[in-house]
């Protein structure tokens, strides 16, 4: 049963990685795929923690989810500001801001 958790986590991570490589120009899809990858890593931490009977993996997942929530909040706020200024949310728009 525990190996099914790792297959699920690996599938989530690979879907996120493929999406990340495929949608490199659209920032919202980029952030969504990055979150899928983090979810896959978190699921692996939970799976390994349950196999070994330790709670350290669950504590690490708690901190990762906290950082991911802050990342999403700040990232979406920046995307909203970028969209209001440039009317686009592509990575090319961000590279134009360098000056």
CATH 3.40.140.10 fits 2-96, yes or no: no
- pLDDT by residue for the chain (99 residues), tens only, comes to 667 888 999 999 999 999 999 988 888 888 889 889 999 998 888 888 888 888 887 888 889 889 888 988 998 898 888 888 888 778 777 777 776
Question: With helix as H, strand as E and coil as C, how does the chain read?
Answer: CHHHHHHHHHHHHHHHHHHHHHCCCEHHHHHHHHHHHHHHHHHHHHHHHHHHCCCHHHHHHHHHHHHHHHHHHHHHHHHHHHHHHHCCCEHHHHHHCCC
**Per-residue confidence (pLDDT) for residue 82, from 0 to 100:** 83
**Per-residue confidence (pLDDT) for residue 14, from 0 to 100:** 94
């Amino acid at each position: 049963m525990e190996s099914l958790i790792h297959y699920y986590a690996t599938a989530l991570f690979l879907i996120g990685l493929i999406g990340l490589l495929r949608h490199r120009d659209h920032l919202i899809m980029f952030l969504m795929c990055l979150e899928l990858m983090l979810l896959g890593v978190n699921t692996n931490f939970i799976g390994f923690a349950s196999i070994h009977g330790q709670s350290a993996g669950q504590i690490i997942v708690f901190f990762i989810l906290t950082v991911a929530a802050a990342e999403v909040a700040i990232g979406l706020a920046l995307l909203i500001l970028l969209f209001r200024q440039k009317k686009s949310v592509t990575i090319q728009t961000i590279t134009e801001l360098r000056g």
